[in-house]
Chains A and B, each alone.
Chain A
Amino acid sequence: AQKITQTQPGMFVQEKEAVTLDCTYDTSDPSYGLFWYKQPSSGEMIFLIYQGSYDQQNATEGRYSLNFQKARKSANLVISASQLGDSAMYFCAMREGLGTGGFKTIFGAGTRLFVKA
């Protein structure tokens, strides 16, 4: 069964430092996509970054990069040069694709990041 695990309920990071948020997943589908979303205290869900199962290179979007280790089934989010505005809940998600014929999406429980000044 597909599953997403985020083992860090909460994380602290000093402003301007880098932080890694962990995500491991489990799926038998060879075709899947991994996503990270940010949820600030205002509640909206903000898309950050995407990694496809067949992508050879790790995804990057500005200060966000995804450390994709397919054999270990991990998709960790790295935020460089943390800012106070990065304080939020972060969710890892996976969508399975062609193998299942559907587009079920599952989310991890989330990691709350606190950036200290």
Chain B
Amino acid sequence: EAQVTQNPRYLITVTGKKLTVTCSQNMNHEYMSWYRQDPGLGLRQIYYSMNVEVTDKGDVPEGYKVSRKEKRNFPLILESPSPNQTSLYFCASSLVGGVNTEAFFGQGTRLTVV
């Protein structure tokens, strides 16, 4: 089954404690992306990756890091989480090669930083 898998689904952590949210897709998609969803703001893109070792900032990259060492994986790293990073996070993947590429989303990770 084609899917994007995020882990964990729920996470409560304390300010400053490094964490990683994993994202893996099994569709051989080149393009992967991370978003955060906050009430009234919709989804905002954090980082995206066009292919292995190619990443670029989205609209809200501050406080986040990503890496793309393998095509299937695109982890999101919070080196020193702060309460303003409490949010619902989505990973998505799609093919590259045109704008008409539907994005497949993971199930979401609800992060709370206290």
Query: Which of B35, B48, B58, B99 is A97 in contact with, Cβ under 8 Å?
Result: B99
Per the bound structure, the CA–CA distance linking A32 and B100 in Å amounts to: 8
Q: Are B48 and A104 in contact (CB under 8 A)?
A: yes
Chain B positions within 8 Å of A37 at CB level: 105
Residue of B nearest to A46 (CB): B105
Chain A positions within 8 Å of B90 at CB level: 45
Chain A positions within 8 Å of B105 at CB level: 37, 44-45
Query: Which of B50, B98, B102 is A47 in contact with, Cβ under 8 Å?
Result: B102
Q: Are B40 and A105 in contact (CB under 8 A)?
A: no
Q: Are B108 and A108 in contact (CB under 8 A)?
A: no
Q: Are A108 and B102 in contact (CB under 8 A)?
A: no
Chain B positions within 8 Å of A93 at CB level: 43
Known: A43-B108, A103-B48. A110 touches B42 (CB 8 A): yes
CB distance from B95 to the nearest CB of A (A): 10
| B31 sits at the interface (CB 8 A) | yes
Chain B positions within 8 Å of A102 at CB level: 48, 50, 56
17 further contact pairs, Cβ within 8 A, besides A47-B104, A91-B43, A104-B45: A4-B42, A33-B99, A43-B108, A45-B108, A50-B100, A91-B42, A95-B101, A96-B99, A98-B99, A103-B48, A103-B50, A104-B58, A105-B45, A106-B44, A106-B59, A107-B44, A109-B42
Q: Nearest 3 A-B pairs (CB), nearest first?
A: A33-B99, A45-B105, A97-B99
